Structure 1
């Protein structure tokens, strides 16, 4: 309701958050009250209504009337009598707060272009930082072809299980090489021959190490 009252729809350049506030000057006097601690608070059912485009019930007094109230005498009579009246320097008034003003021309297009550039940069960084496997396996069929796992989920579960000890894994080729070297360095046990077994079909000689 407040968003509609201030005529500011949410978009790329404006988001309503917990830190979004509306000045108390936009509410009726009865809607604002002071807490015992001296803080200004607004009633829950209050709606901001005082804006530059809204028709205010009470019109601003003329400069003569405001000066009369401030000085305690009619300034027009003083001016007619020739007495000098010291007036405060004119200060340019701001029509409303910055969220009441429209963005300059072209600001929206520039913001949209900037958003597109940032999104493209995020996509490039995501592509660089993602694992190499993700560049080739984008579907369950790819995972079955390259990894022999039935799906990406099964592969992810397997990888999560072995990842803590992945640094100590030994490739099969290295294990084979280590095994061959270990066998060659080991002292062979004495060989003994077993009796020849004869049958009607084959003749085999079995040796046990």
Structure 2
């Protein structure tokens, strides 16, 4: 004799069209697709109703006639089973929901009217690899968690939860927690001037008259943390909305605001260095080329292919063989980013992007560039250019050409710098057209942050 098991969690009720849902957070029970559970309204007694709301962590919930709590969250002794098959399961007077995800209640058998975890036999094993450890316990306040070391922190996803250098490098690309906090202390005073556009505002009064303050769900440091996660890991706004427990539109607004804020703030700092500063920090590998002031190369970011043919031809890069955005980036010999151009269409030539970037006005005759062989710019730059030489059907290079070729090898440092920028995973994906309005700000901020996130590119 065989028994047929029916997956009741997806069984649709034929005798009822009820569509009640359980209002307990993280509970997905629905009366429309589960005929085993019962759904109970809130009690009329104010004290008992307050206990219900406190236990389910919905103190500020607005109750309606359709607000229900399913029988999963009650003990079996609190439920009165119906006397007939067509009867309705009821609750005893004073019954309170006590079984939830956050107090380690896990239903073991979804085919029972009340899910109860069966008792395990008392057995002893050398190792129990299936047993789940419980490193975190709930504090008396539902909004806080006590870690193994006794530290209490907010249960929401926020920067406060991560204090190890490994986590900070993973989420923000900063070398350590100290690097991140040092950078935050520099920009924190300017964050007080950020204006948020929202419908949730509060009006205050000062000596100068009334003022309007926009309420935000996240603290400024957590908004900065959200933006860095978006830039570093390339997570979708919906994913970030679930992590930070805010609306997806709020995530998009925070990303947009902080992209322009950091673009304006970091872009206002002059990163082009004088010859004396570059000479004082020049590493020993550049001793043969003491006049080198900047190493230039182009960085390309893969973008979505446009539908019109004429736009596709403008954005198609022959070097990458795909549609890209293209920008020029410059590095000082010691590894600091000293020049970042705006992004252009991928079909633009290296010579044209050099002329449009504005770097020519910064160069002096006493300076020298190290560039790739594809940069045919000797006629348009007002300084010396170091690049590789080629045999061109000759048997050997001359001594000056050998020296120039050795200088071209130093261009590998700017390639490493570009890889540091591309470690921001947002540039490892295809940039959609929806980001075309802010991709230039995101790219510039990612390039400028390299000066703050990492140690020296070239060791002295």
Shorter-chain TM range is under 0.3
Q: What is the TM-score with the length of structure 2 in the denominator?
A: 0.13
RCO higher in structure (CA 8 A, sep ≥6):
2
Higher strand share: 2
